[in-house]
Structure 1
Amino acid sequence: GDHDLEVYRDQLAELDRDAARGLIRPAEAAEARAEIARRILRLGNADITGKTSGRAASVTARLVATVAVLAVPLVSWGFYSQIGSPDLPSQPLSERLAKNPADSSVDELVARAEAHLAANPSDGR
């Protein structure tokens, strides 16, 4: 942005010098000035558009993040209230480990093995 503006200003200064020396006709100098002015205006419009869209993207990103932060716990709570069993009493680990191993989940089997090794560290079977 700023670098491009400096380039256009240098082009205008060079154009003025060339016109003063008579290297370029006045009509051609006027056309060149108009073209450089158009480029400067285009550059200014691009900067304004870029800043506006950057702000809009930032606001959109914040809005999406806020909705996600609020939606995840609410949706989770909704699923748990429909599918979960909040009224069941908690079961101590010893009761869960006393079940038949064939009826146990992988997590329960791992917990059973860990409890056995904690009680019998020399038993590596």
Structure 2
Amino acid sequence: MVIRQLPSQGLSFQLWPTATTLVTLLDHHCCDPSNSPLSSTLLDQHRSLNILKLGSRTGLVGIAATTTLDANVMVTDLPHVITNLQFNAKANAAVLAANGGTIHVALLRWGEANDVNLIG
């Protein structure tokens, strides 16, 4: 996985330790799904898992969820972050395609009804 960080542009462009911890947990799920709370009825029935990630920053968690859970993930953030999110999604396109999940990047500003309507 390739994730571009731009620390000089602020917190929205950096990985947080919680993101890497969650990715480690997702990776553990991939290797042994019986130990995961994600092995719920939804996953047991082989339905696609749809995930909306709010405040996605670099997109690491969303990309990892796409690849490890075979999920359809929408990563969202503020306007100034979208370009880097799109970059990271495109940089990982081959990995995403090989694992069957999909990722979509969308603008989502808190309290903006138009943004919510656009993402559905």
TM-score bracket, normalised by the shorter chain, equals under 0.3
Which structure shows the higher helix fraction?
A: 1
Structure possessing the higher relative contact order (Cα contacts under 8 Å, 6 or more residues apart): 2
TM (normalized to structure 1)? 0.21
Structure with the higher fraction of residues in strand conformation: 2
